[in-house]
């Protein structure tokens, strides 16, 4: 209850501050709200009605910027923060911060509020989007739950595409050919964001796997459980299983056992230690289990492996 009262007071404070916004808007701002007759042309065109911009703008250093829509709006909103920071509140979810080089999406018809930080106000590029493919695009991006951090080069690319759309809609809004081009450009922008999001997630998964494999390598002489691995890399067991199988084809413990058998093969090749000694050195207490596992994973018994000519 205290949190709800705090939140309501905070919203009222932000509304009051928003009134302080200059009547003429933000210095060097860009904004273009397309009139109904152009929107009607776009809705009627088969190549444009799939995805099109209804509103587009850029607000630099937007001090006291604040918007609240208790019933949401009928467009999807894409907000890219190029510098500074702000906040976004969507539906009943917790408020989150939008920082430099970060992209967020507010789905159509979702109640929301957002605004610039008081001390370090954001500069934002934004689109309002509609169309037959808009829902599918935003489901594919899956940015409704968390913002996406972009690299500097990706930021440059996004702003370049924004400028193309903005300049074309400002200079040639009456040209169907140019409106088709804008529709295709915004489709390309969203698909490009999708690729970057996928690569970011892949890179993150790769770091988790590298961290886990390093931990396994350092502990081949002991025994690790899935609980141990998950705790070490700070992932749930289910998520660790998922990223491991997706990347290596094996569950984490299966991969760990294969690493042990690979080390056993090296010891059989490079030393005259007994099979029992090698077995114990890799954390196995039962030499028979070790031999069965070695044969299952390597394709031959430890003795056969040691006697096989190599090189």
The structure tokens listed for 265 are 């093969």
Predicted pLDDT at 4: 41
Mark whether 142 and 276 lie in a shared domain: no
Could you list the residue range(s) of the whole structural domain that residue 167 is in? 2-202
Residue 76 phi, psi (nearest 5):
-80, 140
Residue 5: predicted pLDDT: 42
CATH number at residue 140: 2.60.120.280
Same domain, yes or no: 279 and 142: no
- Identify the residue whose tokens are 């196995």: 284
CA 125 – CA 122 distance, rounded (Å): 10
Of the residues 150, 176, 202, which one is the last residue of a structural domain? 202
CA atoms within 13 A on the CB side of 17: 19
Exposed e or buried b per residue across 73-90, where buried means at least 16 C-beta atoms within 10 angstroms of its C-beta: bebbbbbbbbebbbbbbb
**Residue 64 domain flag:** yes
Same domain (yes/no): 64, 170: yes
Residues paired with 110 in a beta bridge: none
Residues 128 and 269 in one domain: no
DSSP 177-188: HHHHHHHHHHHH
C-alpha 283/C-alpha 139 separation (Å) is 47
Listing DSSP states for 287-305 in one string gives: HHHHHHHHHHHHSS-HHHH
- H or E element at residue 4: helix 2-18
Q: Kindly list the distances between the CA atom of residue 71 and the CA atoms of 90, 91, 101, 165, in Å, as whole numbers in the listed order.
A: 11, 9, 28, 28
- Do residues 46 and 144 both lie within one domain? yes
Which of 170, 202, 234 is at the close of a domain? 202
* Distance in angstroms (rounded) separating the CA atoms of residues 280 and 69: 66
What is the tens place of the pLDDT at every residue in 18-75? 444 443 467 778 999 999 999 999 999 999 999 999 999 999 999 999 999 999 999 9
* CA of residue 160 relative to chain centroid, distance: 21
Number of continuous H segments (helices) and E segments (strands) in the chain: 11, 10
Assigned domain for 211 exists: no
5-14, 39-48, 232-241, 260-269: least confidently modelled range: 5-14
Residue 198 lies in a domain: yes
Average pLDDT of span 176-203: 85
Average pLDDT over residues 154-168: 95
How many domains, the chain?
2
Give the DSSP H or E segment for 57: strand 52-59
- Whether residue 86 contacts residue 117, with contact meaning beta carbons closer than 8 Å, is answered with yes
Over the stretch 222-259, which tens digit does the pLDDT of each residue have?
999 999 999 998 889 998 998 898 888 899 999 999 99
Domain of residue 277, CATH code: 1.10.10.60
Residue 258 lies in a domain: yes
Mean pLDDT value across the chain: 88
State the pLDDT at residue 202: 65
Is residue 162 located within the same domain as residue 48?
yes
């Amino acid at each position: 209850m205290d949190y709800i009262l705090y939140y309501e007071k905070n919203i009222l404070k932000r509304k009051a501050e928003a009134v302080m916004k200059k009547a003429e808007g933000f210095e060097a701002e860009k904004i273009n709200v397309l009139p109904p007759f152009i929107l009607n042309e776009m809705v009627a065109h088969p190549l444009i009605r799939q995805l099109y911009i209804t509103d587009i703008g850029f607000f630099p250093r937007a001090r006291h910027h604040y918007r609240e829509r208790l019933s949401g709006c009928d467009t999807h909103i894409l907000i890219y923060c190029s510098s500074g920071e702000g906040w976004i509140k969507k539906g009943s979810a917790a408020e989150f911060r939008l920082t430099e080089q970060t992209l967020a999406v507010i789905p159509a018809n979702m109640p929301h509020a957002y605004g610039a930080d008081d001390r370090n106000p954001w500069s934002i590029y934004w689109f309002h989007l509609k169309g037959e493919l808009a829902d599918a695009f935003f489901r594919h991006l899956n940015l409704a739950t968390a913002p996406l951090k972009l690299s500097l080069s990706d930021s440059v690319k996004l702003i370049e595409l924004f400028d193309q759309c903005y300049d074309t809609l400002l200079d040639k809004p009456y040209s169907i050919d140019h409106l088709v081009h804008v529709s295709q450009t915004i489709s390309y922008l969203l698909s490009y964001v999708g690729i970057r999001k996928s690569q970011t997630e892949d890179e993150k998964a790769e770091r988790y796997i590298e961290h886990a494999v390093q931990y396994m390598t350092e502990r081949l002489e002991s025994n690790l459980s899935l609980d141990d691995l998950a705790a070490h890399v700070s992932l749930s067991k289910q998520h660790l299983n998922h990223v491991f199988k997706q990347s290596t084809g094996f569950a984490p413990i299966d991969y760990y056992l294969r690493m042990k058998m690979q080390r056993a093969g090296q010891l059989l090749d490079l030393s005259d230690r007994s099979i029992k000694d090698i077995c114990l050195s890799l954390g196995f207490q039962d030499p028979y289990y070790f031999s069965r596992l070695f044969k299952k994973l390597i394709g031959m018994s430890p003795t056969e492996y040691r006697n096989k000519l190599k090189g």
